[in-house]
Structure 1
């Protein structure tokens, strides 16, 4: 990956910043992304939410998920951390255990090792020692900023899952004209144009052709699949509709 006009690409992942009734980790991630991109949307990609293992031995607020985003910035690592950590300390809930991981996408790194850690964190209990050992071996910044610091585990896992490219829901939902009235009928091409997604995929992973009609209602959300932002749909009585919560939960 080449650096252009002095901009470097980084992945930033945070975890365990919230508590019941406080600002969510996803919102805090978006705020950090905005600050790091100097308010220029073209420099900052979407935030992905990565679901991790839910187990009695793992403390979490509600779902045990990490939040990751990519940003292009002229800032160096120390400057990125200064901005991000300051915001974490200002916005994190007092009872939270926040962690942050930072990966320079141009730096030499065993991406597969990060991916393996992320995939493992979706099905087994990982430890802070394991997270720090991996970060050290790959020269990745990993740090904790309050409480037990347990969030460093999710922060490392989120980096790997974002790199893997087939995990995570895109934070937020699409606001389409007419959607508030109940339902919107669009072709795949129109849905792509109005939402900005890369493609429309069926729940079995097949892309739909541009002319295929869709019926969109409720919360219209995207997922991260094949390193693309994809609108996920399923077929009901011959009609393609946006994915429901049970389909989205797999991401």
Structure 2
């Protein structure tokens, strides 16, 4: 197994949720925008942002899909303590600036190695995929774990999804990458070695655990989203087919398969 590259050096996690209404950009787009603005502000470099699907239930107020986002961040000097306060301030002001009045945005910022009970946070994220949780439980858990949790408009109910998104990202086995360096500038075809240089994924494989050889072509759709599996950015592929020269050819798995994660 190749060493982890995509998330190596990540020392801050930034969760956001409930950032939109029916007429404004969704949380995924806001996460990509925040990632870009944090980069321009010189506060570090992004490893990526992941989307996490939470429970869809009529008892839960959500706009369209009830998904939250988590940004995986590398601090500017490899020392999260040097930038965490500014990241919190910057991210909170960003949400207050871009979110519409009907939104209920929440923000969570965590230094992974400082979380007092990581398994509890992961379990909270898993519960948010299966049952209706209470916002007050998110406030209590965030405070108990020593992570930053804050609301930035409306009911502030987005703190629940923001905290769950961080927990699910920490699980290493949930969600898909909606952004990572190079992801939106890929060619229509590549090889696994070139892909790793272009976008820094950790692995590419099909459902039978087959992997492309270095010289085998991979067709890339216009919607490429690695998923988070075993703490790695994994590009899901369809089963290969044989070429006339004896090599196999591959293509990325369709959207409906990727979104199961």
**TM-score, normalization by structure 1:** 0.85
In 2, Cα distance between equivalents of 1:41 and 1:218: 30
1:51 aligns with 2:53: yes
Instruction: Please identify, of 73-82 and 109-118, the stretch whose mean Cα deviation from structure 2 is larger.
Output: 73-82
Instruction: Please identify, of 79-88 and 230-239, the stretch whose mean Cα deviation from structure 2 is larger.
Output: 230-239
1:215 shift after superposition: 2.6
How many pairs does the alignment contain? 239
Partner of 2:3 in structure 1? Answer: none
1:98 aligns with 2:105: yes
1:142 aligns with 2:149: yes
In 1, Cα distance between equivalents of 2:200 and 2:235: 10
1:96 shift after superposition: 0.6
1:227 shift after superposition: 1.5
1:58 shift after superposition: 0.8
Q: 1:171-226 deviations in whole A, cap 9, x for unaligned? A: 1554333x3xxxx3x33223333333222122355544434442333422221122
**1:58-137 to 2 correspondences below 5 Å:** 58-71=60-73, 72-73=75-76, 75-137=82-144
**Any stretches of 5+ residues in structure 2 without a counterpart?**
1-8, 243-248
Partner of 1:27 in structure 2? Answer: 29
Q: Secondary structure at the match of 1:36?
A: helix
Q: Secondary structure at the match of 1:234?
A: coil
1:78 shift after superposition: 3.1
1:139 shift after superposition: 1.5
- From 211, 214, 218, give the equivalent of 1:210: 214
Partner of 2:11 in structure 1? Answer: 9
CA contact (8 A) 1:12 1:159 kept: yes
1:169 shift after superposition: 1.0
Q: 1:131-176 deviations in whole A, cap 9, x for unaligned? A: 1121121111111111111111101101111111111111155433
Q: 1:99-153 deviations in whole A, cap 9, x for unaligned? A: 0111122315211111111011111111112111211211111111111111111
1:224 aligns with 2:228: yes
CA contact (8 A) 1:200 1:230 kept: yes
In 2, Cα distance between equivalents of 1:208 and 1:105: 33
Q: 1:20 to 1:206 in 2, by over 3 A?
A: farther
1:30 shift after superposition: 2.7
Instruction: Please identify, of 16-25 and 95-104, the stretch whose mean Cα deviation from structure 2 is larger.
Output: 16-25
Q: Secondary structure at the match of 1:147?
A: coil
Partner of 1:169 in structure 2? Answer: 176
Instruction: Please identify, of 21-30 and 118-127, the stretch whose mean Cα deviation from structure 2 is larger.
Output: 21-30
CA contact (8 A) 2:43 2:87 kept: no
Partner of 1:241 in structure 2? Answer: 251
Q: Secondary structure at the match of 1:69?
A: strand
